[in-house]
Amino acid sequence: MSATILDGAAMAARIRAEVREAAARLGERGRRPGLGVLLVGDDPASAVYVRGKTRACDEVGLAHETQRLAASAATEEVLERVEDYNRRTDIHGILVQLPLPRHVDVDRVLRAVAPAKDVDGFHPENVGLLVQKRPRFVPCTPAGIMELLTRSGIAVAGRRAVVLGRSDIVGKPMAMLLLHADATVTVCHSRTPDLAAVTREADLLVAAIGRPGFVRAEHVRPGAVVIEVGINRIESREAAVDLLDAERLRAFDARGNAVVGDVHRSVAAVAGALSPVPGGVGPLTIAMLVANTVRAAETAG
């Protein structure tokens, strides 16, 4: 058996096309959706992520602006930039690119974002609405995963789902969305005893633990749907030999690094369906960000 590959990149392209049509309708009414991005520091990965998000804005016809602050910026300076975006009527969605430098109070910054512009869905008010099954904005990665499942025709109701990871960004909201979709949900993590025994119970396994190749064939029930969330950069050739197939290993040797998920390549021989890294959940995360921004513009006062 070889797993069916769930092509998140192709699905994200379809979602962006839908968003482009919705944005054009708003534009005809004189309201062009706008995204305000705040990038603090010079983390290369964050800069790459922001470029990907702003390219998606260009593709779907959203206005966007990125304000950059030095890594030394104080919490108060970051809060001032957030408040500027809150006041502006041309900015409908606000993205604070994470992670922030360690000295910045992340909780204060995320709480400062106006809930109606919180297109990442991280504000406590939006988290509460999600828990109550009255979501305003759903965090983009879990929302993208639900789109992937729905558009792939994968049933969730009545199935046993296991979420590996308990972060506020992915694990917790993912579990809540699956619960609202009538799955029976277990959340586990690095301290869960006999982890493989728990994950093998899953009809649907979401791996969001942030460890390269952590989930192996012995963690997966035959025929299960496995969704990879983790994006990990490896630079060790020993790790590459273990995690990459021959074609990707040749590319690793040429570049000296590779991006891999939390799921080991051995899982493809066991799972019924599998989302890849790269090309799986990542493009859907960006697609849901622009979709949330358009939704924010639609509901703006």
Q: How far apart are CA 117 and CA 111, in angstroms?
A: 12
CB 140 within 8 A of CB 120: yes
Question: CB neighbours of 28 closer than 8 A, spacing ≥ 6?
Answer: none
Among the listed residues 120, 172, 203, 262, the single catalytic one is 120
Select which of 97, 118, 172, 203 is catalytic: 97
In this structure, the dihedral spanned by the alpha carbons of residues 91, 94, 97 and 101, taken in order and rounded to 10 degrees, is 100
Annotated catalytic residue, options 7, 42, 43, 53: 53
Annotated active-site residue 117? The verdict is no
Which stretch of DSSP H or E encloses residue 34? strand 34-40
- CA dist 206 and 171 (Å) reads 8
Q: Is 47 helix (H, G, I), strand (E, B) or coil?
A: helix
Residue type, 290: V
Residue 120 annotated to the active site: yes
C-beta atoms surrounding 224 within 10 Å: 25
Residue 97 annotated as catalytic: yes
Tokens representing 85 are 């975006």
User: What does the alpha-carbon distance between residue 213 and residue 149 come to, in Å, rounded to a whole number?
Assistant: 22
**Residues belonging to the active site:** 53, 97, 120
